[in-house]
Amino acid sequence: MRRIDALGISLGVFVAAGLIYVILQVLGIDSINAGIWTQTLLVIGLIGWSLTYLLRVSSKNMTYNQQLKDYEEAVIQKRFEEMSPEDLTKLQQEIEQEKESQTPKQS
C-alpha cells in the first residue's frame, strides 16, 4: 500500500465517522449518545479489520507470500526452459524412480 492510499483511507474513515455522527443526530439522538455510538461503530470496524488481517496472516494469503510464490515458480520455469533434452529425460527418470520408491509395495 502506498502512502497516499493510507492517507486516503484515513481521510475516508474520518469523513465516514463525521457522517455517521451527523446522521445519528438527525435521527434524534443527542450529541453525547451520537458520539458514543459513532465511536462504538468505529471500534467495531477496527476490530473487524484487524481480525481479517490476522486471518490473512494465519492463512499466508498476503501479498508478499503471493509474490514470493510467483517468483519461485518463475525461476523454476526459467530453469526448466534452459535445460537440454537430455537433462529433461534424466530428470524425468529420476522423478519416476523417486515415485516408485515412495509408493508402498503390496505383498
Separation of alpha carbons 102 and 100, rounded Å = 5
pTM: 0.57
Report the candidate in 17, 22, 5, 26 with the shortest Cα–Cα distance to residue 44.
17
pLDDT at 8 over 90: yes
The string of DSSP codes covering 29-77 is --HHHHHHHHHHHHHHHHHHHHHHHHHHHHTT-SHHHHHHHHHHHHHHH
* Average confidence score pLDDT of the chain: 89
The string of DSSP codes covering 68-89 is HHHHHHHHHHHHHHHS-HHHHH
pLDDT band of residue 105 (cuts 50, 70, 90) is: low
**Is the model more confident about 100 or about 44?**
44
